[in-house]
A and B are shown apart, each in its own frame.
Chain A
């Protein structure tokens, strides 16, 4: 039986793998997509201690190799379930099942969708969840950004250097994001603020060409746009564990700084846990804490 199974090969999961291997525990990391998690979308990381500049891809690859070189086994399988049999935990994947003594859930978050019909079909045909990834395709075009937090504001600012016209759509009449960024946006001639508005329909032929906005009074306006960048927050990827693991009302694992969940032997690390600051360095820190707690737990069995 494996000592520790880690679900998710992002910064939290891979850091946990490093700590667990250095304590000579056997480790299996299961990842549904690519290693690295969402950090691979970041072109340049400038706030991780010691590394002044590193791309998200290079960061993820170095971390992956460090964990592998220490003897962690990493398999690309989607986890679909988690069962608690007391001293033995069972992880179910699309390919089979694995048993272990302790589990670390480091599943991260995913982009919140608008929930409109055709939204999924139009990804890559006008709909995007990543301005720094896809902004370059909208040079000289018209784009809209929807959201009210820092991500939406920063996306709008980034896109205003590329696109001809940027609409910033927000359901309230003021932004909860950084006031300095709002001021910068206000000074841009090609940024138009559309307050008290919700995106209620997407119109496309081969690709997106316009969107419907509905205001608080229920009036609908159609806005022509080549792109819609969705920045309406992130949701934790904990759905598969909801029956066993206690989550808060927004879906984050109810685990504190010690990364312990309501089930002994199951820990949560990184962005999927209740916390105030979700950064690369806090994800890595969680990995260290969760692994240390898991090792301590195994010692009590």
Chain B
């Protein structure tokens, strides 16, 4: 499933007010590990319908990265009920991400 791009204009609506937990992928086009992670996340989003998956390009939207104190990418932040639940930094294989969502 394609992962929706979000930015600071629709972040509150798409992430904080979402009807289920959300995985936010902070990434950038110049970041190799981010590009490696993308197909893994797409596969994971197919397997994990209990989560919504969105992506933030930190070059397009510096504000969101600063708001959530992202200082290394790829950075996945899991939101539950509008608040950060946990996060992971760097490339992770699918099994590790699956475990992150179950934490």
The residues of A with any CB-CB pair to B shorter than 8 Å are 32-36, 39-43, 55-57, 60, 76, 123-126, 128, 133-134, 137-138, 206-207, 227
Residue of B with least CB distance to A42: B32
Within 8 Å by CB of B71, from A35, A55, A57, A126, lies A126
Q: How many A-B Cβ pairs are below 8 Å?
A: 64
Does residue B91 face the partner (Cβ distance < 8 Å to A)?
Answer: yes
What residues of A have a CB within 8 angstroms of the CB of B30 in the complex?
Answer: 43, 55
CB < 8 Å neighbour of A128 from B72, B87, B92, B93: B72
A125 to B77, CA, bound (A): 13
B68 smallest CB distance to A (angstroms)? 11
Q: A41-B33, A57-B36 are in contact. List 19 more A-B contacts (CB 8 A).
A: A34-B37, A40-B32, A40-B35, A40-B91, A43-B30, A43-B32, A57-B32, A60-B32, A60-B36, A124-B71, A125-B71, A133-B33, A133-B72, A134-B71, A134-B73, A137-B65, A137-B70, A207-B69, A227-B71
Whether the pair A55, B69 counts as a contact (CB closer than 8 A) is: no
List 8 A-B residue pairs with CB atoms under 8 Å apart, sorted by A's residue number.
A42-B32, A57-B35, A57-B36, A124-B75, A124-B90, A128-B71, A137-B70, A227-B71
Assuming the contacts A32-B93, A33-B91, asked whether A40 and B73 have C-beta atoms less than 8 A apart, the reply is: no
- B93 with A123: CB separation less than 8 A: no
**Interface status of B3 (Cβ within 8 A of chain A):** no
In the complex with contacts A34-B33, A41-B33, A57-B32, A125-B69 CB distance below 8 A = yes
